[in-house]
A and B are shown apart, each in its own frame.
Chain A
Amino acid sequence: MTLLQRLSRPWIWAWLAAALAFAATLGLTSGRGAGELAYAALSFGAFAAIVGMGQMLVITLGPGNVDLSIPATMTLAATLALKVMSTDPGTALLGLGVALAVGLGTGLANFALIFLLRLPPIIATLAASLIYQSLAIWSNRGLRIKPPPGLADFATGRFLGLPNVAWVGLALALIVWVVLERSVWGRWLLAAGQNLRAARLAGMPVEAVRAAAYVTVAVFAALAGYLLASFSGGAALNMGQEYLLMSIAVVVIGGTSIAGGNSNVPGVWGAALFMFLVVSMLNSYGAGAGVRNVLTGTIIIAIVIAASTRRPGA
């Protein structure tokens, strides 16, 4: 494969950008702290990657498809899971089950609004997220419940030098990649995103595909919420906030086509690392919050342009 062909792969840009941000940060410290920085990027990037992969599946369905209820689903799943576990040892799997059930429920509810009431997904998921957030507030009542110690150790621990949450994110990435590239369902999703009517007329069960995508994004968000709450010592009502924009940004920076029909799993991970590294780079250069936001936005735009203009035929 030539260099040009490599550059024409849209996900390479996210990884290049992540590597540059990494190098720029280390340039300031003359290489010290490289391991720590990589470890932190993998830890925090894992949460963005998990929600990003869910969002990617929905965005692949084509224009107008997006899940804006990710933050609320994360918060609700984490809140209910921690409440059920109530810091008791040995309840980690019970909590996981509750979190995943919450994700299943919100995913089905989102799709029901979209399918039965024919609401645009943006409206449906945004409106539903208000309900999920309210449920979280109502059930939480200001309490901050700590995760069970074993679970907290797992979420902050490491295996073979990599954070456990990163292993979870990598395993999910592998599964999503296999499903998209090799499975019948993945083909259906990609076809539906290119031309819904043509996919339907080719005999594909497009509504089932859409339903599965919306349920998957919610389950991924619930899992991310569960892990994030365990990682950070408890659920907070604003814990999902930054993942609304983050989930969409990592999909777009990662080279997935917003027009639908084209997914990019490696790009999501590269973009998730980049999103963490660019903030830590600007922090270490002493940029203030305002400057940081402006630069982050500018860099995102630059990468999206670079990735999309290099795509052949796009």
Chain B
Amino acid sequence: MNSPIDTKKDYQEYVDQKSPNSPIWKNCLNAFWVGGLICSIGQIIFSFCMYRGLDETASGTIVSILLIALSAFLTGLNIFNKIGKIAGAGSLIPITGFANSIVAPAMEYKSEGYVMGVGAKMFTVAGPVLVYGISTAIVVGLVYLIFNTQAILV
């Protein structure tokens, strides 16, 4: 009779052997073209804004806002989660994934009320992104203040 640890390990190996694997090549291909497509749409909007005379910062902000609005619209129509099922990281990594992670809890927690549901729980998925992004940015700012880090790669 095997000791319990051996049996547990054997069982885990058996489970891993029998579990169907994610079709990683298909997933990567779908992630590639969906992600590329979303970035290309952003690029077209960006170039159009620059063509119209706006500066880089404003164009970048407009690209973000329009892609976020598109993602919120698709999430509201129950289409985005079907795209996400196929594209995986292709819709998660661009800013559309961030927008979806704010809109989806907002819709879901409506049944708990507008203040305590939508208002309080809107950031259950996207909260960490904001916390770590902003904190890291502050650290970057403070480090820049002390050493001029922009001059590291000349």
The answer to whether A and B belong to the same complex is no
Which chain B residues have a beta carbon within 8 Å of chain A's beta carbons? none
